[in-house]
């Protein structure tokens, strides 16, 4: 372990900077209600995109055939669509 003098994060939890008088206090450590709602919606989108990609991957794995140029082109189109969902 690093000695305390060498630890770059040794002062992260120090409360010495509370006396600065800037009025912000610990405002940055708490999220507003609108922040929480936005994060909740984003998490929902992430879960939905993950589920879509899993279903797409399963469908391609089980049904994807490379026997014709048309099938290969369709698989390429699916890959392009998947990149838009999850770059």
The per-residue pLDDT for range 36-67, each reduced to its tens digit, is: 899 999 999 999 999 999 999 999 999 889 89
Query: Residues with Cβ < 8 Å from 86, sequence gap 6 or more?
Result: 49, 50, 53
Q: Average pLDDT over the chain, rounded to whole?
A: 79
Interior angle at CA 80, CA 78 and CA 82, nearest 5 = 70
Q: What's the confidence (pLDDT) of residue 32?
A: 87
Q: What's the confidence (pLDDT) of residue 71?
A: 92
80 assigned to some structural domain: yes
> How many domains in the chain?
1
17 assigned to some structural domain: no
Residue range(s) defining the domain that contains residue 74: 34-85
52 assigned to some structural domain: yes
């Amino acid at each position: 372990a690093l000695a305390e003098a060498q630890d770059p994060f040794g002062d992260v939890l120090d409360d010495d900077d509370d006396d600065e008088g800037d009025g912000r206090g610990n405002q940055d450590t708490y999220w507003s209600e609108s922040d929480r709602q936005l994060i909740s919606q984003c998490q929902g989108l992430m879960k939905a995109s993950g589920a879509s990609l899993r279903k797409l991957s399963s469908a391609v794995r089980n049904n994807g055939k490379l026997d014709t140029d048309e099938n290969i082109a369709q698989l390429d189109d699916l890959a392009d669509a998947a990149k838009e969902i999850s770059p």
